[in-house]
Amino acid sequence: MGLAALEVMQAVQRTWTSSKVRMNGKTRLMQWRDMFDIAVKWRRIADPDQPVLWLDQMPARSLSRGFNNHVNLIRGQVINMRYLEYFEKILHFIKDRILVYHGANNPKGLLEVREALEKVHKVEDLLPIMKQFNTKTKDGFTVNTKVPSLKDQGKEYDGFTITITGDKVGNILFSVETQTTEERTQLYHAEIDALYKDLTAKGKVLILSSEFGETDAVGNLILSLVYYFYNLMPLSRGSRCQRGGVMRSASPRLPAHAHTFLFPLPARFPLLCLGGPARGPRRCSARRGKTSVLVVFVLGCLAQGTELVPQRRQDPDVIAYSVIVGALMASGKEVAGKIPKGKLVDFEAMTAPGSEAFSKIAKSWMNLKSISPSYKTLPSVSETFPTLRSMIEVLNTDSSPRCLKKL
């Protein structure tokens, strides 16, 4: 996905300098979806057994039913360790929502509810409390999150739904679900369209100016745009669609090569010639030229400890983060930091109270630095790898010998 980030950078830079770019064989104005399509293209090829699809491009019958992206955090005695870092954050949010609910519907009993919630330190303990103070709870309850709009102040969009059901501690279901409907998608698209329009305008100004304030403003717009993308959940997570249009989230179990998902690929892949379409794949030494320049550049970044894209296997996460890295490079900033252990960028956005909070969190570990001049001299990724064959060949390059070198 390092090549995806570089291609995004080059496409965004062309948009800011000449307005129009060549996409899919046509010259036209670049839209925000085009940025993500670049990353989607590389993601599909890097791991073809996990399909990545735009939900709003699914058949009309499926669209009318909607899609539910469902993730189990706790199911009985099974805990999804991937999201463990966010349990406490979600618990505090649920507590706040419960207090707001009782403040509006049971003001006399609010103090008693508050005292009971102060003793709750685990999500599993919330269910007995809710049953005690609300007879309507029965076997469970749900809490909905809201996403504030930047375009229309005071307006909020539907976020995700937190559900806790069960009859006793040790036999509960704690899950989060994002309901993607056509109406919800249109609202988010309008928000992202407005942000992308501002981003393009400020990007053009940035090209003509070297002031720090402009760079910072562009960076905030990039992170805000991706904040709404994460909350929208417009892509499948590489999992099957069940009847009724329900999209189940991928299992937390990861394949053996999950941590080598980031380019370079595992050493078991052979080194292939990056020749023209007339040549068949064969073992050979690395060739000089545009291809080797791009490959060696990405490997050099890895050898120096720079994380171009997250190394965890998360479809919308790795795609959107590739766009973040590429767009920030176009603005003159390089991500020198790494995603903290246990953190998930998509969940950081989904649990943040707003786009500003998400931007602040992301910048705290991104460690943004001025971009190296070497980025400007790189050949075009789209022109160097114009065909599916050439993209597959470069992703099958055995890069392990070069990872040990610092360039």
pLDDT tens digits for range 113-123 = 888 888 888 88
For 360-390, write each residue's pLDDT tens digit. Answer: 999 999 988 988 888 888 888 888 888 888 8
More reliable by pLDDT, 294 or 106? 106
3-state SS track over 294-360: HHHHHHHHHHCCCCCCCCCCCHHHHHHHHHHHHHHHHCCEEECCCCCCCCCHHHHHHHCCCHHHHHH
Domain boundaries of the chain, sorted by first residue = 2-57+185-403, 67-180
For 237-257, write each residue's pLDDT tens digit. Answer: 643 332 223 343 333 333 333
For 9-67, write each residue's pLDDT tens digit. Answer: 989 988 888 766 666 667 778 889 999 999 998 898 888 777 788 888 888 777 777 77
Q: Answer whether 335's CB lies under 8 Å from 309's CB.
A: no
Q: What is the pLDDT of residue 329?
A: 92
For 102-145, write each residue's pLDDT tens digit. Answer: 777 777 777 888 888 888 888 888 887 777 776 566 678 888 99
